[in-house]
Amino acid sequence: MVKRLILTGAPGSGKGTWSKILSDTFSLPHISSGDLFRKELADDSPLGQQVRSYVEQGALVPDELTIKLVEKTLAEGPGQNGFILDGFPRTIAQALALDGILAATGVKLDAVIALDVDEAILVERALSRMICRGCGQPYNTSVTRPNQEGVCDRCGGEVVRRSDDTQETLQRRLLLYHEQTKPLADYYRDQGILVKLENNGPPDQTVQQELFQMLESTCSGA
């Protein structure tokens, strides 16, 4: 049975989109590391205050803090009942820590989906991304434009280009991905739970069926 999943892939590889599809299909909570940070910041919790000190400096939140946050979230129920993790683990150190957290409660991951997208498509997608300032709904300049130019369909807020989506920051994020996150595929392949999905096109029914079949066979240990 599909219960504990990780989605991994380069920035712009479609992790958010697939998290939503999988979350709806298998009735599992979607846990995104970005959302976790934003929630702690909004709650101004002790962990949130630590996160803020890094975010304000424009620094990456250190592994130790991210791991604590994920551990706390999984302990609230998803660790036992199932989850889709998106944006975590981002490094081998985080993957080792996650294995430890799950092992301590006697459970393990069922599958890790690695989204594989051509670099040229990643660049094109990133540079066309837009976001609503009001509710955070993502849009882009091609397929998912808002009905009215610059106005959010959901909340009427202002839809803008993301300020961090420039060619330069994108190259830096891709480099970080290749150095730190891509090695996760080998780590999980060795555990026999890696599912690779080529995600250069839209997530239509055919691709969804392909992924669900790969997941079923991986999760049943076949």
**Residue 38 CB, nearest approach to Zn ion (Å):** 15
Closer by beta carbon to Zn ion, 75 or else 155? 155
Under the criterion CB under 5 A, does residue 160 sit at the interface with Zn ion?
Answer: no
Annotation marks residue 129 as catalytic: yes
Minimum distance, C-beta of residue 134 to Zn ion, in the bound complex (Å) = 4
Q: Give the separation between CA 18 and CA 118, rounded to whole angstroms.
A: 17
Closer to Zn ion by CB, 136 or 189: give it.
136
Site for Zn ion in 40-69 (CB under 5 A): none
Nearer of residues 131 and 170 to Zn ion, judged by Cβ: 131
Q: Kindly state the smallest distance separating residue 101's Cβ from Zn ion, in Å.
A: 34
Q: Judged by CB, which is closer to Zn ion: 6, or 152?
A: 152
Nearer to Zn ion, 47 or 152 (CB): 152
Query: Of 130-159, which residues contact Zn ion (CB under 5 A)?
Result: 132, 134-135, 137, 152, 154-155, 157
Classify each residue of 45-60 as buried b or exposed e, where b means 16 or more C-beta atoms within 10 Å of its C-beta.
eebbebbeeeeeeeee
Q: Please identify which of the residues 3, 4, 90, 125 carries the catalytic annotation.
A: 90
Nearest to 83 by CA among 28, 136, 165: 28
70-92 in b/e form (b: 16+ CB < 10 A) is: bbebbeeebbeebbbbbbbbbbe
Q: Are strands 129-132 and 138-140 parallel, antiparallel or unpaired?
A: antiparallel
CB atoms within 10 A of CB 186: 10
Question: Could you check whether the bond before residue 89 is cis, i.e. omega within 30 degrees of 0?
Answer: yes
Stretch of 1-9, 127-135, 161-169, 184-192 contacting Zn ion, by CB under 5 A: 127-135
Both tokens of 84, joined, read 């889709």
Among residues 3, 4, 125, 129, which one is catalytic? Answer: 129
Which of 38, 52, 145, 173 is the catalytic position?
Answer: 173
Give least dist CB 147 to Zn ion, A: 12
Beta partners for residue 217, in sequence order: none
Instruction: Give me the phi and psi of 81, to 5 degrees please.
Output: -90, -20
**Residues interacting with Zn ion, by CB under 5 A?**
132, 134-135, 137, 152, 154-155, 157
**Residues known to be catalytic:** 15, 90, 129, 162, 173
